[in-house]
């Protein structure tokens, strides 16, 4: 599993629009290049499980992968490809104990020290953020200042080639190539796809920028 574009879901957009976006992007990208990270920290578990199962069916049928944010047990139960771990979501080793040794695990990194921990713990990917200033779509989230492309350059030095770097925070089709040049192997986005009337086209532009096309 080597995704290039990760869509981080936000419940502010609604279930059906999220699924429609996932379908459009998955059809626009090569099989295996697209990953969905289901992130919904306030939803009741029963409802979250239903939506996760729906996304699993959609992603699997279209050759995309699925990660569950912060819940290895849910990831295991619905047959997801792995998990994403935030600051307080447990260790990489514990996640693989629950999900299986082949589970793909990404972690959040807001500093070089977090990247070092990810390398040490054996994560497969790290989401370096926020690269650019971002205005979250949810009214419950705060705006964040960007760390700049230097955050990616520094993370690449720390990580070398031991895990995959994803640029997160204000990333779009216009700045994806700069992220690639700074050391990112992929992008992780929310608004750039979920708020776009043409998410497939935007995703393809970001993908091609990352792979040098």
Q: Which of 158, 93, 173 is nearest to 126 (CA)?
A: 158
DSSP string, 60-126: HHHT-EEEEES-HHHHHHHT-SEEEE-TTS--HHHHHHHH-TT-EEEEEESSHHHHHHHHHHT-SEE
pLDDT mean across residues, the chain? 93
Residue bearing tokens 């697209």: 34
Secondary-structure percent of the chain, ordered helix, strand, coil, rounded to 5: 45, 20, 40
Residue bearing tokens 């992130």: 39
Q: Which of 213, 212, 210, 158 is nearest to 3 (CA)?
A: 210
CA 54 to chain centre: 18
Residue 213 has pLDDT above 90, yes or no: no
Tokens for 121? 């713990």
Q: How far apart are CA 98 and CA 77, in angstroms?
A: 10
Confidence (pLDDT) at 137: 55
148-196: pLDDT as tens digits: 999 999 999 999 989 999 999 999 999 999 999 999 999 999 999 999 9
Report the pLDDT averaged over residues 106-123: 95
Q: How many domains does the chain have?
A: 1
C-alpha distance across the termini of the chain, in Å: 21
Q: What is the CATH number of the domain that holds 73?
A: 3.20.20.70
| Least reliable range by pLDDT among 9-18, 26-35, 81-90 | 81-90
Give the pLDDT band of residue 140 (cuts 50, 70, 90): very low
Collapsed DSSP state (helix, strand, coil) of residue 163: coil
In angstroms, the Cα distances linking 144 to 98, 107, 130, 165, 168 are 33, 19, 7, 20, 11
Q: How far apart are CA 43 and CA 26, in angstroms?
A: 25
Give the pLDDT band of residue 210 (cuts 50, 70, 90): very high
Give the pLDDT band of residue 88 (cuts 50, 70, 90): confident
- Share of residues in the chain with pLDDT > 70 (%): 95
Identify the domain containing residue 155 by its residue range. Answer: 5-211
Give the pLDDT band of residue 139 (cuts 50, 70, 90): very low
Tokens for 39? 């992130």
Residue 198 has pLDDT above 60, yes or no: yes
Q: Strands 82-85, 104-109: parallel, antiparallel or unpaired by DSSP?
A: parallel
Report the pLDDT averaged over residues 26-44: 96
Residue 138 has pLDDT above 70, yes or no: no
Confidence (pLDDT) at 86: 87
């Amino acid at each position: 599993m080597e995704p290039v574009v990760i869509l981080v879901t936000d419940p502010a957009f609604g279930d059906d629009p999220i699924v429609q976006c996932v379908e459009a992007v998955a059809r626009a990208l090569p099989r295996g290049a697209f990953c969905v990270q289901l992130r919904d920290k306030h939803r009741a578990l029963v409802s979250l499980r239903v939506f996760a199962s729906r996304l699993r069916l959609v992603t699997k049928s279209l050759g995309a992968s699925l990660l569950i944010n912060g819940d290895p047990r849910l990831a295991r139960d619905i047959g997801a490809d792995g998990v994403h771990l935030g600051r307080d979501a447990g260790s990489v080793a514990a996640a693989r104990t629950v999900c299986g040794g082949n589970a793909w695990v990404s972690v959040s990194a807001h500093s070089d020290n977090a990247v070092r921990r990810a390398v040490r713990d054996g994560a497969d990917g790290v989401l370096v953020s926020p690269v650019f200033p971002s205005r979250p779509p949810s009214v419950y989230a705060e705006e964040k200042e960007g760390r700049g492309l230097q955050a990616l350059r520094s993370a690449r030095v720390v990580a070398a080639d031991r895990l995959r770097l994803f640029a997160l925070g204000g990333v779009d089709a216009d700045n994806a190539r700069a992220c690639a040049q700074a050391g990112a192997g992929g992008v992780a986005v929310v608004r750039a796809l979920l708020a776009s009337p043409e998410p497939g086209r935007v995703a393809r532009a970001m993908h091609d920028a990352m792979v040098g096309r």
